Amino acid sequence: MANKIVLAYSGGLDTTVAVRWLTQTRGFEVIALTVDLGSQPKLDAIRERALAAGAVRAYVLDARKPFVERFCWPALKAGALYQGQYPLATALGRPLIAQILVEVAAREGATWVGHGSTGKGNDQVRFEVAVAALGPQLKVLAPLRDGMAMTREQEIAYAHAHHLPIEVKPESPYSVDENLWGRSIEAGALEDALLKPPEDAFVWTSSVDNAPATASVVELSFEAGVPTGMDGVELAPLALVEELNRLGGLHGVGRIDMIEDRFVGIKSREIYEAPAAVILHAAHRALEELVLDAEAARFKTSVAAEYARLVYQGKWFTSHRRDLDAYVESTQRAATGQVRLKLHKGSAQVIGRSSPYSLYRPQLATYSAGDEFDHQAAVGFIKLVGLPVRTQAQVQGAAATEPLLEDDRHVVEVGPGAFEGGLAEPVLAPAVPGVVDTDLRR
Ligand code: ARG
């Protein structure tokens, strides 16, 4: 009996050829699996193509809702942006696809799973590490990396020779992966890191020049860190992300151009369009500024970086992620409220926020009447903050620094009566304005 393999099938040229190659050259029974994460695949046509290419069965699944709720929302709550920028669309999609691969393999009694990644990127790592976590008994084959080795021209010739129903579209100038959380664009002309990304790389977002002159203001609602609505209207997760992709895209929000450190050790030039993710991260961050105490806010940035690295490196199904999730979830207790943003000419600017759990107290912050802050308490506070510093300076010598006033040309002697109020002592004009402490005698 032939071995069964469940292949992650996009419907594109590579994986269509792979279906036949796995059948013919490797003797597999191929079960194709196509997962919709929001890239608007034509699922029926893809299913037909998989079967026509020789798959014994073709699964197509709409996983958009679990993708947003179980993958995007946790990453948003964590503040996970790889290298502080990339909202991780592709990286979050892979473990979900891997999970369904494993589940279909169990249902079909397959001992193998396969995917269409090459040997150069992060995606192979993400698929295979996730499979290792969920189905450690499974074997993995990546045809494009493990033996199929055809150029695009060879794939087209192979498809024709085997009467595979491929759509030979003009070759895309870029390598693209997209889902609801963003569109990842790489390769082609973009490999010139100095080149401004050509406008044809962008599909979801307007250029700043073409974006409307008039801004849109949106008010986003969050409950315990989860986005729940817009402009006072409750919205399901999927609808909210789709609407923010549309509106943000219209205003040119969410374009990212970065040099990315791939897990496999390569630096690569990456372009992203992620309007909803960029807007939601900005809004969520603004809400946390309001409701997290300073200690948590500071520590959480380290957790965010760790979480982003872990997701990027394909370690979604790990105990480490679960543990970080538990921390993140706990920080979100008070992350309930509204954030208002202005979307205009490529930027999503926070212009207001409110929360029933806000730690911002106007009566403490104000410089106007009604100030309840105890100014005199500051004296003792500074004394104690300065205590170890002063002690060290007294015992071990003053802090090492280059003198600022060594050059006499900067020293201005001012004689008595030079100022209106009359100064008895000569005073020194600071060489660098603002650097000299008023209390240099201590
Ligand atoms: N560099 C991004 C990542 O590692 C995007 C990868 C996109 N994949 C693709 N086939 N274009 O997450």
Residue 273, ligand 1, Cβ within 6 A: no
Expressed in angstroms and rounded, the spacing between residue 89 Cα and the centre of ligand 1 is 9
The rounded distance, in Å, linking the Cα atoms of 279 and 241 is 10
The rounded distance, in Å, linking the Cα atoms of 342 and 42 is 34
Is 20 a known active-site residue?
Answer: no
Which residue in the list 20, 26, 123, 221 is annotated as catalytic?
123
pLDDT tens-digit readout, 24-43: 999 999 999 999 999 988 99
Is 175 a known active-site residue?
Answer: yes
- The helix (H) or strand (E) run that includes residue 377 is helix 377-396
Is 192 a known active-site residue?
Answer: no
- Residue-range domains of the chain with CATH: 4-64+86-161 (3.40.50.620), 175-292+334-360 (3.90.1260.10), 401-442 (no CATH)
Closest ligand 1 atom, residue 263 Cα? 4
Expressed in angstroms and rounded, the spacing between residue 184 Cα and the centre of ligand 1 is 6
pLDDT reported for residue 405: 80
Expressed in angstroms and rounded, the spacing between residue 368 Cα and the centre of ligand 1 is 52
Closest ligand 1 atom, residue 122 Cα? 4
Q: In degrees rounded to 5, what are phi and psi of residue 219?
A: -115, 120
Among protein residues, the one with the nearest Cα to ligand 1's atom 5 is 184
Which residue in the list 107, 172, 175, 293 is annotated as catalytic?
175
Residue 256, ligand 1, Cβ within 6 A: no
Closest ligand 1 atom, residue 174 Cα? 11
Closest ligand 1 atom, residue 176 Cα? 11
Q: pLDDT tens, position by position, for the chain (442 residues)?
A: 789 999 999 999 999 999 999 999 999 999 999 999 999 889 999 999 999 999 999 999 999 999 999 999 999 999 999 999 999 999 999 999 999 999 999 999 999 999 999 999 999 999 999 999 999 999 999 999 999 989 999 999 999 999 998 887 778 899 999 999 999 999 999 999 999 999 999 999 999 999 999 999 999 999 999 999 999 999 999 999 999 999 999 999 999 999 999 999 999 999 999 999 999 999 999 999 999 999 999 999 999 999 999 999 999 999 999 999 999 999 999 999 999 999 999 999 999 999 999 999 999 999 999 999 999 999 999 999 999 999 999 999 988 888 888 666 666 666 655 445 544 454 454 445 444 444 444 4
SS3 percent helix, strand, coil of the chain, rounded to 5, is: 40, 20, 40
Residue 184, ligand 1, Cβ within 6 A: yes
CA 281 from centre of chain = 8
- The helix (H) or strand (E) run that includes residue 161 is helix 152-161
CA 271 from centre of chain = 12
pLDDT tens-digit readout, 365-390: 999 999 999 999 999 999 999 999 99
**Tokens 């082609």 belong to which residue?**
188
Is 123 a known active-site residue?
Answer: yes
Report the residue among 123, 181, 267 best suited for mutation to probe ligand 1: largest number of ligand atoms under 8 A from its CB. Answer: 123
Expressed in angstroms and rounded, the spacing between residue 120 Cα and the centre of ligand 1 is 10
